[in-house]
Chains A and B, each alone.
Chain A
């Protein structure tokens, strides 16, 4: 029963729970057991919240038994990237500087999931402060890719992506700053959906790059991702950048198909060197499928998208250099004692931050310095404006865009970790939508010649989540991808 349950989607579990065929406790127990059986290999979780998960599941069962209305996610297991604050539960953001930190409050995402009666299984591993594309920058452990344990799961939401791909949970929340949900989703054969910037509250989401960070769901199906996004999205008065408009019902029209839609193919993305043939082929096939389903395929241009990575790696480090200033040993987290306050702060930061975090703080500090601001930060913001206009122009010609999610499939541990530039270029297709603030999602498009999942990216206009999800759902039904990890080095599902 337990193994059967973990392969279910959230929608499938909903049916079983509503019919009374299983209890929320059984569902939670099955997933907790599976985590216990697999996490030695996967290392997706930093904290497993067994007791509180079972308590919550019992509450949900009582509510269902009473006939009291149970929400869409009632009794459905979820996992949270360790970037979201959870009251009194350790929250490290993948960093030693927050080792032992227990926040005094819940993030809005945390409390909305709780209000939806989802069962929180635990906190997942991540690149330190969400800086990385492989998970290798976690200060705690290396999360593996369920499809090949010798390969990276992608990052920075490494644990959330791997946990969903490894059937440890049907749903998980990650955060996407430059592709940190879409790229790991692509690498692990699952769905990752970044909504429009401002759709999900950032309150309680530890900031990396404030103008880019967006909480985003992972799921094994497009429908499940839509459910989860509906549960966490919507205006929050605690976040000034939160969009005031109500979040639409994504389930409505999800199955309406792409007939009559115009779907744009981003020319520049296919001209990129470093695009692996397997990725290119699966994406081309996906485009043909859309055409077969009745969509009109048009070629569009995002002429400034090629500068996206350069602009991103100035804007994000600039913001992070300021955002991470608060980690100084004075109020919480690690403190390395020294003779003066200044030396204590320096020693704490020296010991608490990893190499990539320090690199970005230094880049950002430099980019914001007097005399360099205009040449770097201000110039990057101008590029960002141009990319935003590129997207607006493209969406005048079409309803949605399609492209590969990442230029490669999952690479081996250590392959790029000594070459930051090569690592940064893995975000080349995901960064433009992040800079434009537009919604974008990745869904599995098949396997490459190595047997590794390939992700295809569907992008919608600002506030256009409904269209984006409809395209993704149509494509998903046509591709009929089996999300079960398989291959010589795959995770043993037992």
Chain B
């Protein structure tokens, strides 16, 4: 299709997301799903495609698909079917992939995502079940199958259940795409059906990106972009692709329908394979499998047992718990909303607790290269820490040190405070000597204070704090200095 040149284009973006399920066993056989096993040790005649073997559907995978469909507001298809997608590739044991085609298990849902520009509704076309392929290792300078000296195949991943979630082309900006992926990931995590790690490939996202002149309804030619390993790289890749296509169109060129590879280091996409004509997968219903017909009563039971979903959770944190809107979003996104609620339940102030979690615990995660939700911190301990601050036992600065100790597994905030000897000194007698010594040591500063220069007291406070290794209660030091210098 040739688009007339225009000055203003809008992007039309649809995402295809694959989620690897964390069921105990594979999609069609009873092999354990166990990452990190020696190559080809988690295999059986079925997932190796041995002659005569037959697939049997994993009921837990169907359950996960239905639960995700319900969470996304989809209709659950009363009778859905598995098809065979036929193509030859060495890491696909049967040279066909069992997938769903024209009758997937979930149809037609939606997700509302929030960006700086407000709320935006993204339609969900479908959610379907399929099996993963094995992994190839191409040995040789090219690192790809073409030109490889030889290739090794590990079938441990072959047959792991996948859900594919296809969005409508409702996304217009990179920020919306990122928000969509983040929200979908949060829902998957809330349902507990996958660990959904983009970096490790248990969640994968492909983006279909095209442009059209603003105001037009006809779609432009799209490029499919692959290999984005984080929400950030999804945003970068889409930004790049929009800029590339805009450049092509404004210079009178056309966009080629193709699959493009995102190079994170180079920050650009490049042609992976052109797709002028679509590949013929010869889909047909898999005669080895009977249709999936989930019982209506079971579906309702699953619906009733759905956990609180991220959107509802955020709303409740803001409305009922008293957390700020942005902090609520962050807490849910990083999975620390539960710790926050426990802390508030144990008496902590919501705003304070949220600050500690979104600042200190996030910083800890960055330092340790771990998810913040991996922090060994309970709500009760966070509340205890905040109580130690509010009763004057700890200054904020000391409290940060105590938190470090708690996160390092040294014990409860009280135990860490004690063990590290970090209690704030709030006893006037204990500080008095240091206060007197500071006045004697810096008579000039003392005189300035006496003369009404209030700022000069800072130097004296600093001296006392140094003397007490930071443990003196700064308020009390201030008060004692003023008593000695001003009241006589």
Contact = CB atoms under 8 A, between A and B. Distances in A.
Residue from the set A211, A237, A331 with the largest chain B CB neighbour count within 10 Å: A331
- Assign chain B's interface to a size class: 20 to 34
A209 B287 CA distance: 9
B52 A107 contact: yes
B444 interface: no
B86 A325 contact: yes
B56 A238 contact: yes
Contacts of B48: 331
A418 interface: no
A238 B151 contact: no
Contacts of A204: 52-53
A322 interface: yes
Contacts of A105: 45, 50, 53
Residue from the set B45, B145, B151, B153 with the largest chain A CB neighbour count within 10 Å: B45
A210 B51 CA distance: 12
B346 interface: no
A331 B91 CA distance: 10
A104 interface: yes
A366 B345 CA distance: 67
Nearest to B138: A341
A377 interface: yes
A203 B52 contact: yes
B476 interface: no
Contacts of B146: 340
A369 B282 contact: yes
Contacts of B284: 318-319, 322, 368, 373, 377
Nearest to B29: A238
Contacts of B57: 240
B56 A240 contact: yes
A93 interface: yes
B288 A240 contact: yes
A210 B280 CA distance: 22
B286 to A, nearest CB: 8
A291 B50 CA distance: 50
Nearest to B145: A341
Residue from the set B48, B57, B88, B93 with the largest chain A CB neighbour count within 10 Å: B88
Contact of A370 (B45, B94, B280, B287): B280
Interface string B217-240: 000000000000000000000000
B282 A104 contact: no
A185 interface: no
Nearest to A84: B52
Nearest to A202: B54
A211 B288 CA distance: 7
A101 B51 CA distance: 10
A237 B56 CA distance: 8
Interface in B80-110: 84, 86, 88, 90, 93-96
Interface string B104-146: 0000000000000000000000000000000000000000011
A322 B153 contact: no
B53 A325 contact: no
A103 B52 contact: yes
A240 B293 CA distance: 13
B51 A206 contact: yes
B94 A326 contact: yes
Interface in A217-260: 237-241
B477 to A, nearest CB: 76
A207 B96 contact: no
A342 interface: yes
Contacts of A327: 51
B280 A331 contact: no
Residue from the set A101, A330, A368 with the largest chain B CB neighbour count within 10 Å: A330
Given A328-B88, A370-B280, A85 B51 contact: yes
Contacts of B282: 321-322, 365, 368-370, 373
A150 B284 CA distance: 42
Given A325-B86, A326-B94, A328-B90, A240 B55 contact: yes
Contacts of B55: 240
Contacts of B280: 369-370
Contact of A210 (B50, B90, B288): B288
B52 A331 contact: no
A109 to B, nearest CB: 10
B311 interface: no
B49 interface: yes
B287 A210 contact: yes
Nearest to A364: B282
Contact of B88 (A209, A319, A345, A368): A345
B419 interface: no
A345 B96 CA distance: 14
Contact of A103 (B50, B93, B95, B289): B50
Contact of A104 (B45, B90, B288): B45
Interface string B46-79: 0011111111110000000000000000000000
B208 to A, nearest CB: 20
A342 B45 CA distance: 23
A474 interface: no
Nearest to A378: B284
A335 to B, nearest CB: 12
Interface of A: 83-85, 91, 93, 98, 101, 103-105, 107, 202-207, 209-211, 237-241, 318-319, 321-322, 325-328, 330-332, 340-342, 345, 365, 368-370, 373, 377
8 contacts: A104-B50, A202-B288, A203-B53, A239-B54, A241-B289, A322-B96, A325-B88, A326-B49
The 9 closest A-B pairs by CB, nearest first: A325-B95, A210-B287, A211-B287, A368-B282, A204-B52, A206-B51, A326-B49, A206-B52, A326-B94
